[in-house]
Structure 1
Amino acid sequence: MRFDGYAVLITGAGRGIGEATARRLASEGARVLLTDADGERAEKAAAALRADGLTAESATCDVGDRAAVEAATAHAADRFGRLDVLVNNAYSFHPDPDLLEDVRDEDWARDLDITLTGALRCARAAMPHLAAADGRGAIVNIGSVNGEQDFGAHAYSAAKAGLAGLTRTLAGHGAPRGVRANLIAPGTVATPTWTGREVSLQQAAAHYPLGRVGRPEDIAAAVAFLASADAAWITGVTLPVDGGILVGNVGLREALRGSAQPTCRIR
């Protein structure tokens, strides 16, 4: 029960990584506020946790709206009496057009506003509460391998790379105030956004050194570590949770070996 007595706010928690993270932290004793731009989805996820005897509430929160962010943060602090952990998971993603010159300003601006500036809004609102959390204050940002290496998606990748930089500056600012900030960079994770594209996931799995794509629970476990006292001397880092994709190129390796097909398969 590493999070007994902790209060946690998670953005983008209605499904996928955010929902899995809420369940993991709540299962270890945390009181969790699940927020999402889709309030009904957030409440459905929170209700499922409560049905299992866990402490969870929900709130509608569009991280693109400063007032909504501040209201959700205040709600968490008021309802739970404190706020110890912020998990910035909300993001926006627009697929690239075929040509760079067809990238729309509004799509670029939306991806950066939600993914990067949204995390700043949340950190700004939460920081006074985290700084008062008796040394337990922690921010865990959900980045992406797209912020570390080219996997396409201009705006999304730029936003995630910016989020890694923001994490480092938050770590420097927060350290004297007893607040740590770290980032997790997931690889491909089988979330509901892939519904209907399962074949693509299977194809992607063949390129991962560990032979499969990620599960939301893989990322939730890493969040639990970085948010806990087990990581009390870790701040400002980017932790890839990526099945080895940043350190291995299965396709090239197998080509050099003369194999027509990668040897890794989804498990």
Structure 2
Amino acid sequence: MTAMRRFEGHAVLITGAARGIGAATARRFADEGARVLVTDADLPAAEKTAAALRERGATAEAFGCDVARRAEAEAAVARAVDAFGSLDVLVNNAYRCTPDTPLFEDGSDDDWAADLDVTLSGAYRCSRAALPHLVASGRGAVVTIGSVNGIQDFGNHAYSAAKAGLMSLTRTLAGHAAQRGVRVNLVAPGTVRTSAWEGRERDLAVASGLYPLGRVGEPEDIAAAVAFLASADAAWITGTTLRVDGGLLAVNTAFRQAVRAHAQESGEAEGDGTG
């Protein structure tokens, strides 16, 4: 358990918090003293996560919330305020990601719309409902989970477009909310070891070799970044996208490895291969 207690007395709502990054973020906030509303479309799973937090001595409740439904997003915010008396932090983590079809033109309107509705519009709905309460708290913060997919092409067209949209929403909402005392930021993770990769350890091992830091991320890596941006330690940070990606977007590891291998095979001095 972390020794820091930056969120004593804070009330935190996290969407998509039943598992993975959301659950790790809930644990991080709870360990730092926050009261946490664990929301997820899968209520039984959310209840298990909340129960685990209570076993750690935290104050936590679960609430069923499909962020694609405005009424449920608003009800989740109302529940947090009713249960805890206020709302200080909103973490937009819920998402939907449909695998790409082999050909772009074979993609369906329904899948495209659903990915955007949950991932992008869901964050909009929750932020809209939460904002008055975040303003009232006097220390409000929104932290949204984006992705490197919103910055560079890694496939998943609709999901990536939604994540890119979240970066724009972060900037525009930050500009609107700053004068009202609310900060708005986004964390853009790279590959993170979650249940979405279950049974694909070999794929994760291959992916690890493409990261300059030599490994994929863990949910706790993202949770730490979220907690920082939500805390007073980031009091002069708003409207930013924080890449938490093991250096993936900064260094083209695969390219460097290819150049190095070619140099070794040819006996040439290693260069950068860019001309």
TM-score bucket (shorter structure)? over 0.9
- Write the letter of the residue equivalent to 1:67: A
TM-score after normalising by structure 1: 0.96
| Counterparts of 1:52 and 1:26, CA distance in 2 | 8
Which residue among 73, 76, 81 is the counterpart of 1:77? 81
Q: Secondary structure at the match of 1:258?
A: helix
Does 1:243 pair with 2:246?
Answer: yes
| Counterparts of 1:221 and 1:5, CA distance in 2 | 19
| Counterparts of 1:233 and 1:248, CA distance in 2 | 28
| Counterparts of 1:242 and 1:106, CA distance in 2 | 30
**Unpaired segments of 5 or more residues in structure 2?**
265-275
| Counterparts of 1:84 and 1:34, CA distance in 2 | 14
Which residue of structure 2 aligns with residue 55 of structure 1?
Answer: 59
Structure 1 residues 5 and 207: CA distance shift in structure 2, 3 A: same
Within 5 Å, give how 1:1-267 maps onto structure 2: 1-134=5-138, 136-258=139-261
| Counterparts of 2:167 and 2:214, CA distance in 1 | 26
- Write the letter of the residue equivalent to 1:188: T
Aligned residues of 1:186 and 1:242 also touching (Cα < 8 A): yes
TM-score after normalising by structure 2: 0.93
Residue 55 of structure 1: how far off its partner (Å) = 1.2
| Counterparts of 1:120 and 1:130, CA distance in 2 | 14
| Counterparts of 1:129 and 1:118, CA distance in 2 | 18
Which residue of structure 2 aligns with residue 265 of structure 1?
Answer: none
- Write the letter of the residue equivalent to 2:41: A
Residue 258 of structure 1: how far off its partner (Å) = 2.0
Q: Secondary structure at the match of 1:234?
A: coil
Per-residue deviation, residues 60-86 of structure 1 (Å, max 9, x unmatched): 000001001111100000110000000
- Write the letter of the residue equivalent to 1:118: G
Residue 211 of structure 1: how far off its partner (Å) = 0.1
| Counterparts of 1:259 and 1:3, CA distance in 2 | 52
Aligned residues of 1:96 and 1:103 also touching (Cα < 8 A): yes
* Stretches of 4+ aligned residues off by more than 3 angstroms: none
Residue 259 of structure 1: how far off its partner (Å) = 5.9
Residue 56 of structure 1: how far off its partner (Å) = 0.8
Aligned residues of 1:254 and 1:260 also touching (Cα < 8 A): no
**Unpaired segments of 5 or more residues in structure 1?**
262-267
Q: Secondary structure at the match of 2:129?
A: helix
- Write the letter of the residue equivalent to 1:169: T
| Counterparts of 1:142 and 1:49, CA distance in 2 | 21
| Counterparts of 1:233 and 1:144, CA distance in 2 | 23
The CA RMSD over aligned residues, in Å, is: 1.1
Structure 1 residues 206 and 260: CA distance shift in structure 2, 3 A: farther
- Write the letter of the residue equivalent to 2:85: G
Per-residue deviation, residues 119-168 of structure 1 (Å, max 9, x unmatched): 0000000000000012x100000000000001111000000000000000
| Counterparts of 2:262 and 2:239, CA distance in 1 | 40
How many correspondences in the alignment?
260
- Write the letter of the residue equivalent to 1:54: A
Identify which range, 13-22 or 246-255, moves more after superposition.
Answer: 246-255
- Write the letter of the residue equivalent to 1:241: V
